[in-house]
Structure 1
Amino acid sequence: MGMDVYGEAATSEVGEYFRNNVWWWRPLADYILRTHPELASSCAEWHSNSGDGLNAAESIALADALDADLASGAVDAYSTAYAAEVAALPREACNLCNSTGLRTDEIGVAHGYDKPRDPATGRGGCNGCAGVGTREHWAASYPFATENVREFAAFLRASGGFKIL
């Protein structure tokens, strides 16, 4: 699933369409909502494909704010802090193998995930946790990158307003 963001009156090709899968969109939208809530407030549904969005003037104002954040290093600082916060999260119990490291359900048995991991081949063990019984915290699935902010700012500037579909 993804967030397809369409420009309403694009002034160039970059403003016609912006897409992030849900894993990339959530941290981008959260950054905007945390750092520029007043500029984002006209769009109440940043995390929905409901067709909400910003008009042309609001999009330009948000693009200006994001470009200023990029120029000042604020986005890079946020990215570094975000990565550190995610890295510090505790690992979680693996739900595919019930933290045993071996997956004994039908799929696990069919694919050999029910046998201990062979260090020489890397085969075996639970495919969800590599046979260790724990997985990265779910939040590690949501990356944040400065380049994504830069691309969204460029889209905003040329979109003529947008809708999230």
Structure 2
Amino acid sequence: MGMDVYGKKPKNKKGEYFRNNVWWWHPLWEYVEYAFPDIAEKVPHAHSNDGDGLGARDAKILAVKLRKNLKDGKVAEYALERQQILDTAKLEHEEAQKQKAISEGKPLEDLKPEPFWAGSYYFSEENVVEFTEFLENCGGFQIC
């Protein structure tokens, strides 16, 4: 499943269409929620593809704010912190699996790792750059 984000009044090709699968979209929009809650709250259904979105003015404001955070290194800092949290969580997840096996009297060599789903959701500065370029040119957007 993916999020197809269509520009409402695109100025050029970059503003016509932006796409992320769910593994990329959710962390991208979570960053928007974290960094700019005032804008994110205007898109209550951003994590679904039911047609929610922003008008031209708010899309442009979001683009300006994202561009500033990219320039100031805040996006890179967030990406690093997020990865560190995920790395720690993965280790804790693996340790919890071991402790569960021990408490159940199962040998550790028989342990089959359970999926760590949080690590399957990706965030990158490059994706933020692409989304920002879309926002700068879309004239508002709709998530479908």
TM-score, with structure 2 as normaliser: 0.85
Q: CA deviation at 1:136?
A: 5.0
Q: CA deviation at 1:47?
A: 0.2
Is the contact made by 1:40 and 1:62 (CA closer than 8 Å) also made in structure 2?
A: no
Is the contact made by 1:4 and 1:17 (CA closer than 8 Å) also made in structure 2?
A: yes
Partner of 2:42: 42
Q: Does 1:76 align with 2:76?
A: yes
Aligned runs of 1:120-139 on 2, under 5 Å?
Answer: 133-139=112-118
Partner of 1:85: 85
Is the contact made by 1:23 and 1:143 (CA closer than 8 Å) also made in structure 2?
A: yes
Q: Return the alpha-carbon distance in structure 1 between the equivalents of residues 111 and 21 of structure 2.
A: 28
Is the contact made by 1:39 and 1:58 (CA closer than 8 Å) also made in structure 2?
A: yes
Partner of 2:120: 141
Residue correspondences, number = 129
Aligned runs of 1:95-114 on 2, under 5 Å?
Answer: none
TM-score, with structure 1 as normaliser: 0.74
SS in 2 for 1:38: helix
| Counterpart residue type for residue 88 of structure 1 | T
Q: Which has the larger radius of gyration?
A: 1
Q: Return the alpha-carbon distance in structure 2 between the equivalents of residues 26 and 53 of structure 1.
A: 14
Higher helix content, 1 or 2: 2
Q: Return the alpha-carbon distance in structure 2 between the equivalents of residues 70 and 143 of structure 1.
A: 17
Q: Return the alpha-carbon distance in structure 1 between the equivalents of residues 126 and 75 of structure 2.
A: 9
Q: CA deviation at 1:40?
A: 2.0
- Structure 1 residue runs without a partner (length 5+): 94-98, 100-130
- Structure 2 residue runs without a partner (length 5+): 102-109
Q: Does 1:14 align with 2:14?
A: yes
